[in-house]
Amino acid sequence: MTFTAISSNLGYPRIGEKREWKRALESFWKEEITKEQLIKETDKIRLKNLKKQQELGIDLIPVGDFSFYDHVLDTSAMFGVIPERFSYNGGKVDLETYFAIARGTKDAVASEITKWFNTNYHYIVPELEHAQPILTENRPLAFYKEAKEELGIDGKPVILGPITYLSLAKGYKEEEFDELLDVFVPLYLQILEELESAGATWVQIDEPIFGTKLDDAVIQKAKKVYTQFCEAAPKLKLILQTYFEHVINYESIIEFPVAAIGLDFVHGDSLQLIKQFGFPKDKVLAAGIINGRNVWQENIADKLSIIEEIKSITTIQDIILQPSSSLLHVPVTKKLEVDLNPDIKAGLSFADEKLEDITTLTKGCNDGEHSIATKIKTNQEQLARFNSSALRTNDQVRKELQSLDTSDAKRPLPFNQRIKKQQHELKLPLLPTTTIGSLPQTPVVRKTRTKWRKGEISNEKYEQFIKDNIDKWITIQEELELDVLVHGEFERTDMVEYFGEKLNGFEVTAFGWVQSYGSRCVKPPLIFGDVSFNKAMTVKESVYAQSLTEKPVKGMLTGPVTILNWSFVHDDAPRFTIQNQIALALRKELEALEENGIQIIQVDEPALREGLPLDERKWEDYLEAAVYAFGLATSAVKDSTQIHTHMCYSEFHDIYETIDALDADVISIETSRSHGEMVTTFEENTYEKEIGLGVYDIHSPRIPAKSEIIQNINRALQTIPPKQFWINPDCGLKTRNEEETIGALKIMVEAAADIRKEHLSYQKY
């Protein structure tokens, strides 16, 4: 029996090697370029990405994975699922409407944004209330034709599957799922039929929702849907693509009548599932063999062994070799990292390098291991260089961790006793106002930081520049009459990268950017070994800010869970061990802040929820470890020192107990885009600590009306007592300009004052 391997990719980074995509988008939003110029520039980026994959030797090149903002929003636009407030009148959705949904307008709030499964990528949540789905354009077909006509590539169209799309949407009742699915199926059928007519061979339908637990009824309904797909376009080879975890309903999914099934062999236990339940001999196995979510080079010989094991336990004749997920989650190429420590660089593999590994493995499968002997030798040498680096091991921090026990991760006094001491010290008013931490990172701030990094301005001049900005914004915050101030984080590039630059065991890249949401790109640091504290990281700026005002200034740190989840962590050390090492380092930073007179310290954990494994059976271990690490970082401070934390858009109702167990004195949660839905979590549970539910959306370039903010505050106060409630934006303000920031905060403080008067007047009676 002939065994044939085919190379494939699931998706390529959109942003360009040097974020050309980001700059084009933001130039368009600032009206510096026209829509035609934006389209021309992004066309060029997209075709370059396709050509690169072609040159790397990928057989099945994805088309349709490109986006102007988000692939879930692309799907909504393709099906005309446009919220009523955007006045959509049918037909192809124009870019102005598309961006309005994502970013909001003066008169319409943006759609909700939340995390894409357990990644740091954010998607725009589809709103199906009042929706009348139609096919506004066959987007996959357009991209398929473009690749064929421009580059001669017979591409593999990528489509977000209907089960996942509906599962991620809002605005309908659970019992309406089947009915809605029946509405969308004919639209998918039309897409597939037209792709078949155009000559497409392979089509990738992404269903990552199958990595979660679904009811049997949903699985059976999905099977009928995919039967319809295959019957409508029998010449197409459909790949039912899963990723991020093993398939929970594996036995049922492998019975779907598709040509191929994509499984993740990096995360979860897909190999074990095949051993236990087999794999259909009449289907192609699309094996996600190279990690699509991390940046560390893998052992090619080991991967070949896994492929050989798959061959030995199945009767399949063909295998597709591919990354475990879209490469959207990793940087483009390590070739640009010319200044990186050579030992660390030897262990790296970004998107382009991962595709090289895929083509190498494909050749090894088809022509024998000897045909890639040179590649294997180089791979082994690079791994040996990385693994033997003395930079990777720190015995001292390992000893420190071993000396700790559970009591070191708990504050001595319970909250109801701590809060009395904090109220006595801080003397804050009812419904205190604050911001989340960062303030506008203007072009001047960014350019000055770049000049300093290049050595074009001195350390002294740069430090004075930071002080000048802190001084300016402390004055602005006092004039706005905010109650708790922040220093603004002008010295920080990113809330995780900044700490990666300061802690031992981290390395930062020059061009290691990945998309987070919209044009917002982040540069996750690399955790290559043991993590330890070096010296104070935030004390100088916090103390300077506090010296300028009588009002409390928050110390601002990123928490251990978020630093871990938003970094690229080498997988040869247990993640929870590294997490605790980070927590131990932060513990020392909190002690330093407190020793220098900082009475409020915010330890942000926006990534806590997103890091949950898709398999709920793994939740308990993850959440227990998160609570311990947060406690380890924060429990050494005095009872009178107030600990805050902040969390980003996510579904929190299922981890409510964990949020409570963190034992933060004040938690702020990003909720404005969900239009108060988060409040229901606190209606169903009794929460005794203090909380701020974000009262306006900072991701949207608009200044909210006071009535909107008052409505959001009053909605929360129906459930949360005023004495527990803080008023704040829903996230940091670094991406907003000064005019938007000052205007929105002014209205927020006015709204807080109005409501405060109402409650104080009521209390008199």
- Indicate which residues carry an active-site annotation: 699
The answer to whether the annotation marks 309 as part of a ligand binding site is no
Q: Distance between CA atoms of 18 and 22, rounded to whole angstroms?
A: 9
Amino acid (one-letter) located at 383: L
> Contact at 8 Å (CB) between 213 and 202?
no
The answer to whether the annotation marks 473 as part of a ligand binding site is no
The answer to whether the annotation marks 438 as part of a ligand binding site is yes
The answer to whether the annotation marks 489 as part of a ligand binding site is yes
The answer to whether the annotation marks 521 as part of a ligand binding site is yes
> Contact at 8 Å (CB) between 12 and 62?
yes
The answer to whether the annotation marks 21 as part of a ligand binding site is yes
Q: Distance between CA atoms of 216 and 315, rounded to whole angstroms?
A: 28
> Contact at 8 Å (CB) between 226 and 253?
no
The answer to whether the annotation marks 35 as part of a ligand binding site is no
> Contact at 8 Å (CB) between 152 and 158?
no
Strand, helix or coil for residue 508: coil
Q: Distance between CA atoms of 559 and 565, rounded to whole angstroms?
A: 10
DSSP percent split of the chain into helix, strand, coil, nearest 5:
50, 15, 40
The answer to whether the annotation marks 436 as part of a ligand binding site is yes
CA angle 339, 345, 346 (to 5 degrees): 140
What are the start-end ranges of the E strands in 161-283? 202-206, 237-241, 260-264
Strand, helix or coil for residue 319: strand
555: closest CA among 460, 488, 510, 491? 488
731: closest CA among 670, 656, 675, 671? 670
Q: Rg (Cα) of the chain, in Å, rounded?
A: 26
The answer to whether the annotation marks 648 as part of a ligand binding site is yes
The answer to whether the annotation marks 365 as part of a ligand binding site is no
> Contact at 8 Å (CB) between 148 and 645?
no
Among all chains, which residue has been given the structure tokens 């401070």? 637
Strand, helix or coil for residue 525: coil
The answer to whether the annotation marks 534 as part of a ligand binding site is no
The answer to whether the annotation marks 520 as part of a ligand binding site is yes
Binding site for L-homocysteine, by residue number, is 436-438, 489, 604
Binding site for 5-methyltetrahydropteroyltri-L-glutamate, by residue number, is 19-22, 115, 120, 520-521, 566, 610
Binding site for Zn(2+), by residue number, is 646, 648, 670, 731
Binding site for L-methionine, by residue number, is 436-438, 489, 604
Binding site, by residue number, is 19-22, 115, 120, 436-438, 489, 520-521, 566, 604, 610, 646, 648, 670, 731
